[in-house]
Amino acid sequence: MTNGAVAQRPLRFAIIGAGMSGILSAIKLSEAGFDDYIVYEKAERLGGTWRENTYPGIACDVPSHLYSYSFEPNPEWSHRFAPGAEIQAYFEGVAQRHAVNERIVFGTAIDQAEFVNGRWNLTTTDGRTDTVDVIIAATGVLHHPNIPHLDGIESFAGASFHSARWDHSVPLDGRRVGVIGTGSTAVQIVSALVDQCGAITMFQRTPQWIGPQENPAFSEAQIEQFKEHPEIITMMRDEISRGFADRFSNAVINADSPEMQLIEAVCKAHLEDSVHDPVLREKLRPDYRAACKRLVISGDFYSAIQKPNAELVTAGIQCIEPGGVRTVDGQLHELDVLVLATGFRVDRFMRPMNVVGRDGLLLDDAWAAGPVAMLSISVPDFPNLFMLNGPNGPVGNFSLIEVAELQIAYVLELVEEISAGHCTQISAGREATAAFDAARKEAAKTTVWATGCRSWYLDADGIPATWPWTFDRFRQEMAAPKMDHYERI
Ligand code: NAP
């Protein structure tokens, strides 16, 4: 459908979630002439992951000129990798400029979505109802904090919180701070806090490969140039995107590729060159392939962890006590603040919303063996419901904005089938979805993610639940739906 075209069959839409994908969906629906939509947002503020994650040091390790909407370049990014608060402000600005705010119902979570008589009946957690023709689920991936079951955690006498629930009322100056985890989040927190707190202790279950990164600030002159010549931003964006596709996405899907070996060599050299104490260096050295877990990118973590007030604890956690963390070697690590940088439950997607599809089919039952969707967008027997950044799509080190933009254009083509009156219901075909999922799982075997490590990429069967082909192939798939893969009624 071309921008500005008028829908032939009036359709009402619900967008669920006002994060990056939800804001994008609202803008693109308006542009396509679909004006009857509402955005349900459970929180009181938009922004999704950037609203929820406010921990010290938060930034996006995808370059900001790529981690922006293609239609809303931002000449004013302060750094190559902008801090989280700037990204949150960017989304708020975009939403305001495109009048998305007034379409958002804040503080309203959808409890149930049920497909009845060809439409979706929605019930909010406070008992309100709505009926829509199409749902766009923009509910995020890294969204549900993973709170580990650590013995005695409730007994801790200091402040304790998950990294995505940062309590800014807790003072940190001069305090003894413990951070459980070694993922991208923990690395950013430790790097940011080491000079502020009295002592910082990182509890490592598994070491991480860390790619080096410089984060230069853009000068005023550069920013002026971006403003005057937005085409420079477009060029930079294309170049970064191309580089990601050629060097990163092609590498990780082929564990034996020269590109993958290059990434590995860069990470190894980063460790060798940065960490001087051989004991600490060996503690930090992973015994699995680089990028098997989501690659951590940081230019300052190795320097932070070598500071005199930083400690890396590799003994396992036995329990939490009022005074701190006791490790299995019997030592008590005394702490005032304990941060759980322990990641997210990544198999939830739209849930805990109770989604009931055609003939009473529960999403929980359809996904009993794990989340499955055609190209991460559509689930058989859940007609006229489309996900952005749904299961098994490109995640990890990619720009999820780039991914979501490709997906929404594809979704609009599916919607066009209904709007144009070619059908009233459209959802991925069962056989086509099963074939897609089998091919995806087969392809995943040769990716670096399947080379033997524990990571959030892996599903319950240990199969990487992410796009296992090139990013170019993803682009091609998103260029136009193969309608024979869809069931249209
Ligand atoms: P994560 O990568 O899943 O890391 C969780 C960490 O917690 C791991 O080190 C894990 O250890 C540890 N852990 C979990 N349960 C534990 C337990 N019971 N005992 C001890 N350790 C435990 O989570 P994350 O760091 O929040 O990052 C999640 C994702 O968010 C990233 O991979 C990335 O995609 C995204 N992110 C992006 C950026 C960015 O700059 N773009 C920044 C932050 C996050 P194991 O490794 O042993 O499992």
- Dump pLDDT digits (tens) for 19-34: 999 999 999 999 999 9
Helix axes of 400-419 and 20-31: crossing angle, nearest 10 degrees: 40
CB distance 83 to ligand 1 below 6 Å: no
Q: Nearest CA to 405 among 173, 121, 72, 45?
A: 72
Is the pLDDT at 410 greater than 70? The verdict is: yes
Identify the structural domains of the chain with CATH numbers, from first to last.
13-144+345-488 (3.50.50.60), 153-214+240-340 (3.50.50.60)
User: Residue whose CA is closest, atom 2 of ligand 1?
Assistant: 183
CB distance 316 to ligand 1 below 6 Å: no
How far does the centroid of ligand 1 lie from the alpha carbon of residue 340, in Å?
A: 9
Q: Nearest CA to 423 among 37, 118, 131?
A: 118
Residue 182 to residue 342: CA distance in whole angstroms: 8
Residue 461 to residue 451: CA distance in whole angstroms: 14
Is the pLDDT at 156 greater than 50? The verdict is: yes
Residue 241 to residue 256: CA distance in whole angstroms: 23
How far does the centroid of ligand 1 lie from the alpha carbon of residue 44, in Å?
A: 26
How far does the centroid of ligand 1 lie from the alpha carbon of residue 355, in Å?
A: 28
Q: What pLDDT does residue 397 have?
A: 67
Average of pLDDT values for 262-280? 97
Site to substitute for ligand 1 among 52, 165, 182, most atoms within 8 A of C-beta: 182
CB distance 194 to ligand 1 below 6 Å: no
Is the pLDDT at 299 greater than 90? The verdict is: yes
Is the pLDDT at 8 greater than 90? The verdict is: no
User: Residue whose CA is closest, atom 24 of ligand 1?
Assistant: 343
Average of pLDDT values for 478-483? 97
Q: What is the pTM of this model?
A: 0.95
Q: Quick one: which H or E segment has residue 189?
A: helix 184-193
Site to substitute for ligand 1 among 300, 342, 346, most atoms within 8 A of C-beta: 342
Helical spans, DSSP H, in 420-464: 430-444
Residue 283 to residue 478: CA distance in whole angstroms: 43
Amino acid at 461: D
Is the pLDDT at 7 greater than 70? The verdict is: no
Is the pLDDT at 93 greater than 90? The verdict is: yes
Average of pLDDT values for 154-178? 98
Residue 23, burial from CB neighbour count under 10 angstroms (0-12, 13-18, 19+): buried
Is the pLDDT at 398 greater than 80? The verdict is: no
CA angle, 382 as apex, 371 and 107 as ends, to 5°? 80
Work out the mean pLDDT of the chain and round it to a whole number: 95
Residue 130 to residue 161: CA distance in whole angstroms: 35
Average of pLDDT values for 345-349? 90
Is the pLDDT at 330 greater than 70? The verdict is: yes
354 has which bridge partners?
A: 112
Residue 203 to residue 181: CA distance in whole angstroms: 6
Is the pLDDT at 6 greater than 70? The verdict is: no
Q: Nearest CA to 423 among 11, 3, 79?
A: 11
Q: What pLDDT does residue 399 have?
A: 84
- Enter the tokens of residue 108: 């309203």
Three-state secondary-structure class, residue 459? coil
Residue 397 to residue 161: CA distance in whole angstroms: 26
Using pLDDT thresholds of 50, 70 and 90, give the confidence band for residue 1: very low
CB distance 142 to ligand 1 below 6 Å: yes
User: Residue whose CA is closest, atom 14 of ligand 1?
Assistant: 342
Integer angstrom CA distances of residue 364 from 39, 287, 360, 372: 24, 36, 11, 11
Average of pLDDT values for 298-325? 98
- Return all residues near 431 (Cβ < 8 A) that are at least 6 apart: none
CB distance 205 to ligand 1 below 6 Å: yes
Q: Nearest CA to 355 among 399, 387, 319?
A: 387
CB distance 345 to ligand 1 below 6 Å: no
pLDDT tens per residue across span 202-258: 999 999 999 999 999 999 999 999 999 999 999 999 999 998 888 888 899 999 999
Q: Nearest CA to 173 among 192, 189, 195, 156?
A: 195
473 phi and psi angles, rounded to 5 deg: -65, -35
Integer angstrom CA distances of residue 253 from 128, 211, 421: 45, 18, 40
Average of pLDDT values for 113-118? 97
How far does the centroid of ligand 1 lie from the alpha carbon of residue 94, in Å?
A: 29
Q: What pLDDT does residue 210 have?
A: 98
How far does the centroid of ligand 1 lie from the alpha carbon of residue 126, in Å?
A: 33
Residue 3 to residue 318: CA distance in whole angstroms: 58
Q: What pLDDT does residue 94 have?
A: 98
Average of pLDDT values for 451-458? 96
Q: Phi-psi bin for 204: left (phi > 0), alpha (psi -120 to 50), beta?
A: beta
Q: What percent of the chain has pLDDT over 70?
A: 98
Diameter over CA atoms, the chain:
70
Three-state secondary-structure class, residue 193? helix
